[in-house]
Structure formats: C-alpha cells, structure tokens
A = this chain, B = another copy of it.
C-alpha cells in the first residue's frame, strides 16, 4: 500500500479502487479516446427512427429526397436535414440528376449492423 491514506471517507469508492489490477488492465485494453468518441458519434446516427427508416429504405433502392420523404413520412426539409448528417458521416452518397438528388448507401457495413440489431431484438422478444 504505497497509496496516500486519505481517511476522508464519503467518496472512498472514487479514490481507493477495489481491484486496482483489473482496472489498470481494462484501461489499457480500451480503444483511445478519439476512437471511442467517433464510435459513439457513428452509432448515434442509428439511434433515431427516422434515420433508421432512411437507411433501411436506401438499403437496396436508390431514391430521390422527395420519395424518401414519402416513404418515411417526414417533411422534405426534415429528411434533407437528416440526409445531410448521413452524408457528412459517409453513410450515404448522392448523385445529382437534373433537379433531383438520388441517394444510396455509401457503406457495405450498414446493412450488417442493422441486421445484427434486428437479431438482438428478435432474440429478446423470443426470450420473454
């Protein structure tokens, strides 16, 4: 015990870690902060039902903004805002044809991720 002996109790847990070795090991295995931040930003994109609808809609089809709006039931403006987010994060890409912008998925992993999510939900439903 070379640790400072701080008898000021109250938040003992914060100061004297119960299993120091395990904590150090876990810390060293954690991805770096940048990766953790980007990971959460990435998954945040899937954490909204409008965006999930958009992604699932584009999974297999190429559609213009107006059509996407009709499919997901959100105003053109709302869809456009969400598409911008998805575009900036390279989940979708766009091709301009005349006045229209056609959107498609820009990452082959997206379908996989959503599929795993559905599996989780189905298993959870089955296990009631």
Q: How large is the interface on A (under 10, 10 to 19, 20 to 34, 35 or more residues)?
A: 35 or more
| Min distance, Cβ A73 to any Cβ of chain B, angstroms | 9
- Please state if A19 and B64 are interface contacts (CB–CB under 8 Å): yes
- Alpha-carbon gap, A13 to B70, bound state (A): 9
Chain B CB within 8 A of A49 CB:
yes
* CA A76 to CA B26, docked complex, whole Å: 17
Given A67-B18, A67-B19, decide whether A42 and B120 contact each other with a Cβ distance below 8 A: yes
Q: Which residues of A contact B (CB under 8 A)?
A: 11, 13-14, 17-19, 22-23, 25-27, 29-31, 35-49, 51-53, 56-57, 60-61, 63-64, 66-67, 69-71, 75-76, 90, 100, 107, 109, 112-114, 116-121, 124
